[in-house]
């Protein structure tokens, strides 16, 4: 099986749920990255205790404060990451942070729509813009042919709930702000893939499945361990033929 050879990886929302599990499995994998930048809103707070414990045992894990809904925080995070990389590039940006609210067409309001867009769509857009020079640097440094997550990639953690074609299958949960903001994230992924292809950066949206986390609840189908094992086995097989698509945790394509 192909292995992920990314030297530097950055994740958002990595203090709990799928983000934290990604950090744990990247650290415990066969080829741990030289740098894992685990970002979260409050690295000093009680909800980042597990992440701090991991960082105390793994010198390649760097905690960075980052609220993806705050453009100035994104710029500050780039400076910290750039300093640590000391001239090297960033291979893999995983936009994982996300929010979900049980809003229906009757109850949703402009504040909730804007809140969801800021975190789920605008945040990933600004993250990619800000980290683009470091991603381009990684693409230039690589001798690999084609596109890959080991070379340079943007992975947007999306959801099947952002698929317009699949909406009727799960519309018993309307979650309007979540669906619309994730559909926007899917469109963003396609636009990023078409734009960044020529600079050697792969762009893919991944659906992790319905996962037992605070967001997914304990009723969900998959444990975070199973979902993340799947996601991490999909990353190394991604190539230019997948760029600009939405795939699930098993690598199966989901229609837009
Ligand atoms: N769980 C599922 O069934 C499922 C299904 C499909 C897709 N997904 C997607 O998978 C991703 C992770 O979901 P999850 O289940 O792990 O959710 P979760 O358990 O609710 O965790 C969400 C994470 O995002 C962070 N976050 C939220 N807003 C943020 C912001 N403005 N800036 C930085 N971090 C922020 C949270 O940090 P705080 O602790 O600071 O709040 C937390 O670390 C999301 O994008 C979600 O849409 C999940």
E strand or H helix that includes residue 119: none
Do residues 58 and 37 touch, judged by C-beta distance below 8 A? no
Do residues 83 and 2 touch, judged by C-beta distance below 8 A? no
Looking at the CA of residue 67, tell me the nearest atom of ligand 1: 32
Structure tokens at 36: 């894992």
In whole angstroms, what is the distance from residue 182 CA to residue 202 CA?
A: 19
User: 142 C-alpha vs ligand 1 centroid, how far in Å?
Assistant: 31
pTM: 0.98
SS3 79: helix
| pLDDT in the model for residue 140 | 98
How far, in whole angstroms, is CA 65 from its chain's centroid? 16
Alpha carbon of 170 to those of 105, 141, 163, 176: distances in Å? 15, 43, 10, 12
> Residue 3: which pLDDT band, with cuts at 50, 70 and 90?
confident
CA-based angle 68:115:22, to the nearest 5? 40
| pLDDT in the model for residue 2 | 78
Structure tokens at 164: 């317009």
- pLDDT of 102 > 90? The answer is yes
The pLDDT tens digits of the residues spanning 150-199 come to 999 999 999 999 999 999 999 999 999 999 999 999 999 999 999 999 99
User: 182 C-alpha vs ligand 1 centroid, how far in Å?
Assistant: 12
Neighbour-count burial of 81, counting CB atoms closer than 10 A to its CB (0-12 exposed, 13-18 middle, 19+ buried): buried
Span 112-136, mean pLDDT?
98
What is the average pLDDT score of the chain? 97
Q: Which domains does the chain have, with CATH numbers?
A: 8-248 (3.40.50.720)
Q: Helices in 118-223 by DSSP H: which ranges?
A: 123-141, 167-170, 176-196
| pLDDT in the model for residue 185 | 98
For residue 62, report the phi and psi dihedrals to the nearest 5 degrees: -115, 125
> Residue 1: which pLDDT band, with cuts at 50, 70 and 90?
low
Do residues 200 and 152 touch, judged by C-beta distance below 8 A? yes
Residue to probe by mutation, ligand 1, list 215, 223, 225, most atoms within 8 Å of CB: 215
Residue to probe by mutation, ligand 1, list 213, 219, 221, 231, most atoms within 8 Å of CB: 213
In whole angstroms, what is the distance from residue 133 CA to residue 38 CA?
A: 19
Residue 63, beta-bridge partner list:
38
């Amino acid at each position: 099986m192909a292995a992920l050879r990314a030297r530097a990886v950055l994740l958002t929302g990595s203090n709990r749920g799928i983000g934290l599990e990604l950090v744990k499995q990247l650290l415990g994998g066969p080829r741990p990255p030289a740098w894992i930048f685990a970002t979260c809103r409050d690295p000093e707070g009680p909800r980042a205790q597990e992440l701090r414990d991991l960082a105390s045992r793994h010198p390649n894990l760097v905690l960075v404060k980052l609220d993806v809904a705050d453009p100035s925080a994104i710029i500050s995070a780039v400076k910290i990451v750039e300093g640590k990389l000391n001239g090297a590039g960033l291979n893999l940006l995983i936009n994982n942070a996300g929010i979900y609210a049980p809003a229906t067409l009757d109850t949703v309001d402009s504040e909730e729509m804007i809140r969801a867009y800021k975190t789920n769509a605008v945040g990933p857009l600004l993250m990619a813009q800000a980290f683009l020079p470091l991603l381009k640097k990684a693409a230039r440094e690589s001798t690999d042919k084609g596109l890959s997550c080991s070379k340079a990639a943007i992975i947007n953690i999306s959801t099947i709930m952002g698929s317009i074609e699949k909406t009727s299958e799960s519309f018993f949960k309307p979650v309007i702000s979540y669906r619309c903001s994730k559909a926007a994230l899917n469109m963003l992924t396609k636009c990023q893939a078409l734009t960044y292809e020529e600079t050697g950066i792969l762009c893919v949206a991944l659906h992790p499945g319905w996962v037992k986390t605070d967001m997914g609840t304990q009723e969900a189908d998959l444990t975070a361990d199973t979902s993340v094992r799947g996601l991490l086995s999909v990353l190394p097989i991604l190539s230019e033929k997948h760029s600009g698509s939405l795939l699930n945790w098993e690598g199966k394509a989901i229609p837009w």
